[in-house]
Structures are given as C-alpha cells and as structure tokens.
Amino acid sequence: MGVTYFKRFRMEYDLAGGLFPEPRVPNDYVASRWNHRLLEEHSETKFNSFRFEIDANVFPCLGNLDGCRRLMGDISGRPSFLPNSTILVAHHDHQTGEVDYCGTIQAIRDPQNRGSIQNIGVTPGHRGYRIGTWLIHHAFRGFITEGIQLATLEVTAHNTKALRLYERLGFQITRTVFKAVEVAFA
Ligand SMILES: CC(C)(COP(=O)(O)OP(=O)(O)OC[C@H]1O[C@@H](n2cnc3c(N)ncnc32)[C@H](O)[C@@H]1OP(=O)(O)O)[C@@H](O)C(=O)NCCC(=O)NCCS
C-alpha cells in the first residue's frame, strides 16, 4: 500500500451578500427536497454521477453503489444533516412517462454554523443544462431558511469543470488542503 495526496480547495460563498438568481432549466426537470424514501434514488444518482470521475479516487465510496448507500444513510442520520438543502433532481420524459433521477446534492451544518454542501453530482447525459447550478441554488435556499449565512465546499483542484462552475457562481477559494488516500500498488 502507498499514499497519494489530492490537492483540494476549500471555497466559501457569502449568502449575506445575496443569492445568485435561480437558473432557467428545461421544464421537464423537477427538484425535490430530502425524504427518507428517496435514499435509494439519491444513492444511485450519486453513484452514476461519480463512478468515472476523479472524486471516485479521492473518496472511493463514491465509486460503488453500496458505498453511496452507506454514505447517504450515515449522513442523513446525523444531527447536523440539513434535509431542506439535500436535493434530488428527476427528469420526466413526458412522451414515455419515464423518470430518470439525474442530480443530487447533500448538506450538513458544520460546527461554525456554516452550510457545507457535499457531493454534488449530475449524471453524464444531463450535464450542461444548469442542473448543477440549480441544485446549489436550492441548497442555498435551504440554508437561508435555516439562518445560515455562509456556505462552504471542498473541490479537488483537478476537477476543473466543478471548479469553474463554483467560481462562476461567486465562490471564493479560502484554503488549499491535501487529502491523503491509500492506494494499492500492483
Ligand atoms: C460538476 C457538475 C455537478 C456540473 O453539473 P452541470 O449540471 O453540468 O452544471 P451546470 O450545467 O450548472 O454548469 C456547467 C456548464 O453549463 C453551462 N452553463 C450553466 N449555466 C450557465 C450560464 N448561466 N451561462 C452560461 N453557461 C452556463 C456552462 O457551459 C457550464 O460549463 P463551464 O463550467 O464549462 O462553463 C457535473 O459536471 C458533475 O456531476 N461532475 C461529476 C461529479 C463531480 O465532480 N462533482 C463535483 C464535486 S466537488
């Protein structure tokens, strides 16, 4: 076994300065707040969003379905869990009646009373329609109803797509950290 280090940025968004406008997303997408009955849909959407992405190396649980189930079960049972900022997006195909779960975000309150958003994921076929922006917008509305004024997240430095999205929305980098991950050498 060896250890590899992933460079990550901590970012913050000051909600006291106002919330960015709700993006316009196609009207066949529907966002829902957390409900325990949606644990499986959140877990599957997370897995399908992360399985081929860099963060599945940083957090190996994101690269397998059982890991995503354990993660959602664990986080949703914590006192710090924020159900109003934990959102699932579904795509409704009005012609076939099919529902495809395609976006997920979860949030907790940290000990400094900041809203921490975690593991935002949009499945590959639904990217670029502002679903990611919409998930963050909904999570932030949940923070505001909880009286939370500062939002935080961590992003892997090489995850340029996510980093660009957060910078475009107005997040600022506040710290650089390194996450150690154990790797097996062949
Ligand atoms: C990061 C991720 C969540 C973004 O989801 P998304 O739904 O594609 O995000 P959005 O559509 O809101 O924004 C992305 C793109 O849409 C376009 N877009 C969105 N809003 C726009 C706007 N207001 N004006 C112009 N373009 C816009 C842009 O092209 C943007 O791409 P860019 O960052 O290259 O400029 C998604 O790529 C993903 O799930 N990645 C894998 C998991 C992951 O790494 N998550 C992040 C963990 S920190």
Task: Provide the 8-state DSSP code for 186.
Answer: -
Place of tokens 């909880």: 146
Average pLDDT over residues 20-32: 97
Give 183's pLDDT tier (boundaries 50, 70, 90).
Answer: confident
pLDDT at 161 over 80: yes
| Domain range summary for the chain, segments of one domain joined by + | 2-183
Is residue 39 scored above 80 in pLDDT? yes
Lay out the sheet containing 99-109: strands in order across: 29-33, 87-92, 99-109, 115-122, 150-156, 2-14, 172-183
**Structure confidence by residue, pLDDT tens digits, 86-117:** 999 999 998 999 999 999 999 999 999 999 99
**CA 80 – CA 107 distance, rounded (Å):** 9
Residue-wise pLDDT tens digits, 124-158: 999 999 999 999 999 999 999 999 999 999 999 99
Residues within a 6 A CB radius of ligand 1: 23, 49-50, 53, 55, 120-122, 127-133, 155, 159, 161-162, 164-165
Measure Cα distances from 134 to 24, 105, 138 in Å: 8, 10, 6
User: Is CATH 3.40.630.30 what the domain over 2-183 is classified as, yes or no?
Assistant: yes
**Residue-wise pLDDT tens digits, 48-97:** 999 999 999 999 999 999 999 999 999 999 999 999 999 999 999 989 99
At residue 184, the pLDDT reads 78
* Dist CA 154 CA 156 (whole Å): 7
Give distance in angstroms: CA of 130 to centre of ligand 1: 6
Q: Is the pLDDT of residue 186 over 70?
A: no
Tell how far the Cα of 58 is from the centroid of ligand 1, in angstroms: 20
